Structure 1
Amino acid sequence: MVNITIKRLDSGSSGFDHALDDLLAWDETSDREIHERVTAILARVRRDGDSALIDTTREFDRCDVASAAELEIPRSQLQAAWEGLSPDGAEALETAAARIRAYAERQAMESWEYREPDGTVLGQQITPLDRVGVYVPGGKAAYPSSVLMNVVPAKVAGVPEIIMVVPTPGGETNPWVLAAAYLAGVDRVFRIGGAQAVGALAYGTETVPRVDKIVGPGNIYVATAKQLVFGQVGIDMIAGPSEILIISDGLTDPDWIAMDLFSQAEHDENAQAILITPDAAHRDAVEASIRRLLPDMERSAVIAASLSSRAALILVRDLDEAAAVANRVAPEHLELSVADPRSLVRKIRNAGAIFMGRYTAEALGDYCAGPNHVLPTGGTARFSSPLGVYDFQKRSSLIFCSADGAAALGRTASRLARGEGLTAHARSAEYRIPKDE
């Protein structure tokens, strides 16, 4: 028997707002001790390069490497992992990769420009990043899907070199992860993880090349390290624990809802699973399904810990209020398990990915639907978006002035510059204005 206690909230109660704030409170990266340890590891990698990577890999991953050359996993090993997959496994990876690529190809930005009557040309030039680092978790679980979701959009964007890092605890590699790296076209793979891997990608070592941007999820040490190296390199986001919020109108099979909640709760003990419904009887039925189905889950202990600490079953007045609460939560994954999801989705402003209708399980988005599963967490969907091709492209403004255009713009720039007291700016613009004007 698995013991769980799931919070029940009612939007009509006087203490609802405070209770919801408490439920959503989460800032794992504020741990001072972890911050200090990560800072020390990053400084060590920046100072000592490869030797620091060798030492930390031995210490934290229990992986005995004798030289920096052994940190790199040869491409022949990636190919062997791919060729060693079962036909069904290879087909699943190929299908997922093709769907992710098809979706990503619709995101790619293109350069553009326009010409003004006096001949001035303005525009925007799109170029890919030169080198990207992809962090792939390798601790509690292995995620080949994460390889595809991070690498395929970068390839579509035209990034010429992709470096992957993945921890190999005890020296063990996961063949699915290596096979996915081979399929997606990763250029180099290193068996390093944790804050030391982030440091290596951010600063570069004798063996690991420095990258322009680091993407991919990781544990608290990885998240903290990404936060600290931001500015030295770009990052995708600071990923927190996985989240799912389900709005149900009460007509979806409660077993489906329970299993969808489990699908994110099984990631780790800090994952968050929330149900919002206007149907009190449905809420009771879902909780009954949770208690009946949980003992048979392989990761029942993890799910139980997650549900007991961070889950909630929320009763609201109607679906309009459900949408309002969902916007306040701004979840990573939002399921609209209702009869008319297209009407309800128009009321959603804050969500990483929205799964519409009773048949659209969030798990499909994790693997093969097509849209990226690297999503904003911890309420950051209020101001950020899923990982996409645009994260691997840069925008440069293009400005070409004709003689007439330089004269016209120069007069405006001169007035504004002198108003700001910046005389050199003004005179620079004025030099392009004909003397007889």
Structure 2
Amino acid sequence: MSVNTTQFKHVSYLWDDTRAAELAGDEVALLIYRSNLLGADLRLTNYGGGNTSCKVMDKDPLTGKEVEVMWIKGSGGDIGTLKKSGLAALYVDRLRSLKNVYRGIGFEDEMVELFNHSIFDLNSKAPSIDTPLHGFLPFKHIDHLHPDAAIAIAAAKDGKKITEELFEGTIGWVDWQRPGFDLGLQLKECLDNNPGIRGIMLGSHGLFTWGDTAYESYINTLEVIEKCAEFLEQSYTKNGSVFGGPKIESLPADDRKKQAVALAPILRGFCSSKTQMIGHYTDDARVLEYTNSKDLDRLAPMGTSCPDHFLRTKISPLVLTLASGEDLSDIAAIKEKLTPAFEEYRKMYEGYYNTCKHPNSPGIRDANPVVILYPGVGMFTFAKDKQTARVAAEFYINAINVMKGAEAISEYTSLPRQEAFDIEYWLLEEAKLQRMPKPKALSGRIA
């Protein structure tokens, strides 16, 4: 397969033929190699997001017969650091036979437990909810990623039409639906109705691409994302401004840092009203372009689209009404000024919970914001530890990139509140949270 690698301007071509040759014949090793390369470029997928798979023939340990086995990133892993211990291995025929017992979309969650009856390697990782999305597609190698450039199209009001026109029918489209067994069936139906396509765009969610070999899948993925990114860049150039143009200017860099240092402890106090939180601050240029814009007040309350984004950033951020050069020396006065904003945010979040909850929903979580935007200064994020706070910031920058792209080519759309709630308070997601280690004694505290 001859590929012009100079075509890649917006993504990194990292494939090393020498290294790949050392892995030749071991499709699982090549899957891990490809996954690590994809995960190394955050323009291709966010931390912990997406999943990759391969299908191989292997000997059944019970019968000695050759069977088809799918290796796929297991639950909770990160493709950038993926090792074989992070993969799940399943009998493909058993996984597909679960169609015979599937009772419909109202019984999605029970299918996850049934995945365990399809396990081939008993030492492998627990299968993720995305397992059937790969299992029902016939391709040997599959990449499911969350690239900002693709999600910008997937989250645009005219996303389906744009996808069809941009790729001339070679990329399919499946409307937004929560990941699960039924979505796997829809991907297969999309492929059956559009034979010969090279990938599928998932509305508001992400991208599926594939190939017969690890290398073909890798190149196909890069080419599709590059085309999306190039389309967005042309739209930015054509439009001349993004987010409606600037409303205010940023403070000089040193002044931004001084404001952040003065305000961060105050914000941390508000965000720690239920649980001790650790903060992170960034004045990334992409953040400032967004927070300083005329469209901030319209876009920020809409929330994010990709499930991976809002699971880590909450349904929407808190936007501060402080002037960028506000005098922050009187702490009591600043607290008094900010108190109504935090009370209003908590009330909004409680209303979202009470409106959308189901009889069996987990109890309401911390109602404080995770993301706080300070126009002219930057973004603060708060979480249980520094890494989680930093990752939340990275994810909200992903969301900003998506909003910017969608607005440039059409109009940004977020997930309906009920759909977002059903992801955030998903019983499977709650079970994952409950399995996490309990915080250590000094977790969330600083000295």
Both structures adopt the same fold (TM-score exceeding 0.5): no
Higher relative CO (Cα under 8 Å, sequence separation at least 6) belongs to 1
Scaled by the length of structure 2, what TM-score is found? 0.28
TM-score if structure 1 supplies the norm length? 0.29
